Structure 1
Amino acid sequence: MSQANHSDRRQFLKTGAIAAAGVAVPYYFAGANAQADEPKNESANDRLTIGCIGTGSRWGAVGPNAMKLGDVAIVCDVDANHAEQGRKRCEDANKQKGRERKVDVVEDYRKVLDRKDIDIVTIVTPDHWHSKIAIEAMKAGKDVYCEKPLTLTIDEGKKICKVAKETGRVFQVGTQQRSEMGQLFLKAVALINQGRIGDIQKIHVAIGGAPDSGPIPVAEVPKQLNWEMWLGQAPLVDYRFKGKGNGNSRCHYEFRWWYEYSGGKMTDWGAHHIDIAQWGLDQQNVGGPVSLEPIMVQFPTPFQDGMPTQDDRYNTATKFHVRAMYPGDIEVNIRDECNELGFGNGILFEGTKGRFMVNRGKLVGGPVEELKDNPLPADAIQKIYKGMTPASGNAHMANFFECVKLRKDPISDVYSHHRAMTTCHLANIALRLDRTVKWDEKSEQIVGDDDANRWLSREARKGYEVTA
């Protein structure tokens, strides 16, 4: 493609011309039976060019889903093995489409953002890298698909929302429950929207516990890994590894169990289920939490003043229970499991007219059974899906690509996700400090606790600051 043609296409997308009256969206977004796979009869000029930042295990799902709808030109990872595997997978996908295209490989994400031909980026890095890369990508004129949880702190979420508003970039967060999983969660939110359980009184959210590693010894950094850059904004520490395969480590998948890089299950699965719980509350204009009380917590290491006292093992909470109170005296219990209520993972909504439970495998309860005789209106899903219809396959990525072309916020926008992550981060602050925190949603400040307010942000290592 010539540079002139590419610039014309980018301008077309920027102006949102496809949103004009009478212009049809691509067939793979149109209607409930559409399949969001390889678009038919689409020219290369119509396809978005993708840069993939982070090509580890989770990218194994995100990357191929994006490649169904666009073409990857460059991959980036600080682990050379991951980068090479990503390159090969992308080039193989290009060949299968009948489009021979070399895919470049870089270690530094800034080289992806510098490329004028890149329309969108997928960010599938450890959590502590999400905000910095996403903010710089938006400022570089890229639309963004970023895996959850989007932020490490509440302050990062405020910065992302600010830049998204200023730049007008389209940004989809990878909370796929809003689009996929057999539309079980969409149906759950639609039930609330349609008043099928009356006014919400209580919600139980079970998100699973985290593992305990025991001591992990210092180990030699793998030759293919740029450990210093992997650490990014986090403190410079020794690489640790124990076991075989992925094993126990500070790196790759296991970063989830270190507060230096993530928030444990509270942000890993909370980003999914707490998001759905608050989406349900949003149907009744409830607003965010007003207080969060730690009922129970177990850490794999002793804590002092909110900080782990040992640095050689996982440190995120293994078991926990936080009671969050919302306006109208609505109680939301966030726990590792709710087995006494009949489920170990999922969300139980209780209202004045009934209750139901939803997770990735089922949607059950009286209001669900009543759908046989009183089904949801035909447009119930569209009403909560911002007037759009989820594609029957690859729906979350398809929604992102559709919104890039329409220049509108996708179903998992940064603003709703920031609000969900605010609850997750506040819950972790309450657990780590072992005290109730009171929250003012309007000012985005913890009330009457200066020490707790300091936890809304954190100092980044020099050279890796997250700035808006």
Structure 2
Amino acid sequence: MTQYSDSRRKFLKTTSTAAAASAALPYWFTASRSAAQDYKSANERPIFGCIGTGDRWGNRKDGKFGGVGEQVLKYTDIAAVCDVDASHVEQAKQNVRQRRSKGDDRPVETHEDYRRILDRDDIDAVTIVTVDHWHVKIAIEALKAGKDVYCEKPLTLTIDEGRQVIKALEQYGGTFQVGTQQRTEMGQRFLKAIAMVRDGRVGDVRKVTCVIDGSPVSKSIPVAEVPQGLNWDMWLGQCPKVPYRLGEGGENKYYTRTNCHLGFRWWYEYGGGKFTDWGAHHVDIAQWLIDQNGPDQGPTKITPLVVEHPCEMDEYGNPKCDDRFNAASKFTIRADFPNGVEMYIESQGRNGIMIEGTKGRMFVNRGTVAGKPVEDLAKNPLPDDAIEKVYGGKVPKSHMLNFLNCIKSGETPISDVYTHHRAMTTCHLAAISARLNRPLEWDAKNEAVIGDEVANAMQAREQRKGYEIKV
């Protein structure tokens, strides 16, 4: 492995002429014909370590392989896989070996502890597809170790974690892509919607509604024996030490009745419910659309209009029950922005984004772009370069390929840490206001809740000893 990696690095170091030429292109540039061919040469293929190899990585419950791991294997080589669940990591190893070229018998190392991957000099980049509360700690330590990072959304568990990862990126450098694929894929529907807004097709935007669904509810979930091969203490990480829980039911693979795999998102201890699940996608696109995802930008006020939780919250916004899903199941949250736009984050209705302006309205989700402004395109189409202007250049073929091209060029990927932090700040504030059930005034420049000590304290969480995040 060392000899293979050294020869590849030598090749990359001798391509300065090509790198200089590519630097003149937009950072997201992807040649439509030759993009996939760029990584066919063994010397050009970065070596990856994959941290977290569950459902989203590719080890799906239906037995099919698909997800981040599949994307990595299209363009790179995977030298090692890591997971705190032995069943996940063994299946990941088999998936990698089965998809390599015939005769490629290089080892695929398996690890339980992600630090073993970060220690390896032969690994250039990592994917982080763990539970949400592990993202930032691993990402910061990966940057320290000189690795480029592809991390699934939502990047952060708290607002403070966003500041920490930005500080680490600026201190240690590296290429960092967040896995919000709506920015590049999904048939470019979201890009088309943004391009239409930029072209004035709905007039001045006044209201944007993001329907992100509500978190599922559950009955009491019993304490259960920790499955063999699962390091439960390490899975919990920075979160409080609690018993493992598992109950019957939950046919939807994402609604498994547990506080572990495929159920963790519905507990505020490990995530933000739908606020940070679908919110990480739709709020991100909405803030991009209204030009509110840059430095010092964001909402001025967050107001909970409707909130329902599966269990009661105490005065500090903490769930009073510990045996069931506790994230908000029903909500309407209004976010007021300084440019006069009202954003509504809602649980009920058709999943997607409704955009309302002075000249009309349109709706966009992963399946459609609809509304009269869209119908009018038949007679008055967008300029040929309208979607490219959203980016400032050619739209990439895939999220992963954009990441790899940016590793080569040193440019910033499409889903960067900075804009993601601004979108996630709105999502986290929505969750905080819902948990406290009161309005919050937000100072975006100083990143502070005005006049509410409890809400301000909720920008961070206490971290269990031994699992603290340090930049």
TM-score (norm 1): 0.92
Q: Residue 85 of structure 1 corresponds to which residue in structure 2?
A: 91
Q: Residue 8 of structure 1 corresponds to which residue in structure 2?
A: 10
Partners of 2:242 and 2:269 in 1: how far apart?
11
Partners of 2:293 and 2:160 in 1: how far apart?
27
1:225 to 2:230 alignment: yes
1:360 to 2:371 alignment: no
Partners of 1:53 and 1:398 in 2: how far apart?
19
From 281, 297, 310, give the equivalent of 1:272. 281
Partners of 1:189 and 1:137 in 2: how far apart?
34
Q: Residue 115 of structure 2 corresponds to which residue in structure 1?
A: 110
Change (3 A) 1:88 1:207: same
Q: Residue 302 of structure 2 corresponds to which residue in structure 1?
A: 292
Change (3 A) 1:152 1:334: same
What SS is found at the alignment partner of 2:298? coil
Change (3 A) 1:141 1:447: same
From 236, 240, 246, give the equivalent of 1:241. 246
Q: Residue 394 of structure 2 corresponds to which residue in structure 1?
A: 388
Change (3 A) 1:290 1:321: same
What SS is found at the alignment partner of 1:332? strand
Deviations 1:341-372 (A, max 9, x none): xxx10001111222110001100112211222
Q: Residue 56 of structure 1 corresponds to which residue in structure 2?
A: 54
Q: Residue 255 of structure 1 corresponds to which residue in structure 2?
A: 264
Change (3 A) 1:35 1:57: farther
For structure 2, the 5+ residue unaligned runs are: 59-66
1:427 to 2:430 alignment: yes
Partners of 1:143 and 1:375 in 2: how far apart?
40
Give the superposition deviation at 1:3. 5.4
Q: Are the aligned partners of 1:124 and 1:146 in contact in 2 as well (CA < 8 Å)?
A: yes
Q: Residue 153 of structure 1 corresponds to which residue in structure 2?
A: 158
Deviations 1:318-337 (A, max 9, x none): 11110110013311110002
Q: Residue 40 of structure 2 corresponds to which residue in structure 1?
A: 42
Aligned residues between the structures: 453
Q: Are the aligned partners of 2:246 and 2:259 in contact in 1 as well (CA < 8 Å)?
A: yes
Change (3 A) 1:120 1:12: farther
Q: Residue 63 of structure 2 corresponds to which residue in structure 1?
A: none
Q: Are the aligned partners of 1:239 and 1:250 in contact in 2 as well (CA < 8 Å)?
A: yes
1:323 to 2:334 alignment: yes
1:449 to 2:452 alignment: yes
Give the superposition deviation at 1:213. 1.2
Partners of 1:179 and 1:3 in 2: how far apart?
30
1:94 to 2:100 alignment: yes
What SS is found at the alignment partner of 2:100? helix
Provide the aligned C-alpha RMSD in A.
2.2
For structure 1, the 5+ residue unaligned runs are: 339-343
Change (3 A) 1:135 1:284: closer
Q: Are the aligned partners of 2:293 and 2:423 in contact in 1 as well (CA < 8 Å)?
A: no
Give the superposition deviation at 1:43. 2.1
Deviations 1:359-416 (A, max 9, x none): 011001122112222222222222222423221xxx1111111111111111100000
Change (3 A) 1:165 1:400: same
Q: Residue 319 of structure 2 corresponds to which residue in structure 1?
A: 308
- Counting aligned pairs with the same residue, the percent is 54
From 169, 181, 190, give the equivalent of 2:195. 190
Partners of 1:36 and 1:295 in 2: how far apart?
47
Change (3 A) 1:35 1:431: farther
Give the superposition deviation at 1:295. 0.5
Partners of 1:35 and 1:364 in 2: how far apart?
33
Q: Are the aligned partners of 1:290 and 1:440 in contact in 2 as well (CA < 8 Å)?
A: yes
List aligned pairs for 1:322-341, cutoff 5 A: 322-338=333-349
Q: Residue 341 of structure 1 corresponds to which residue in structure 2?
A: none
Q: Are the aligned partners of 2:22 and 2:409 in contact in 1 as well (CA < 8 Å)?
A: no
Give the superposition deviation at 1:194. 2.0
List aligned pairs for 1:139-218, cutoff 5 A: 139-218=144-223
Deviations 1:15-44 (A, max 9, x none): x7643127999xx9644x44865x378321
Q: Residue 468 of structure 2 corresponds to which residue in structure 1?
A: 465
Deviations 1:44-86 (A, max 9, x none): 1111101000000000100011110100000000000000000
From 324, 349, 353, give the equivalent of 1:347. 353
TM-score (norm 2): 0.92
Partners of 2:17 and 2:438 in 1: how far apart?
52
AA in 2 matched with 1:324: A
Change (3 A) 1:310 1:12: farther
Give the superposition deviation at 1:182. 0.6
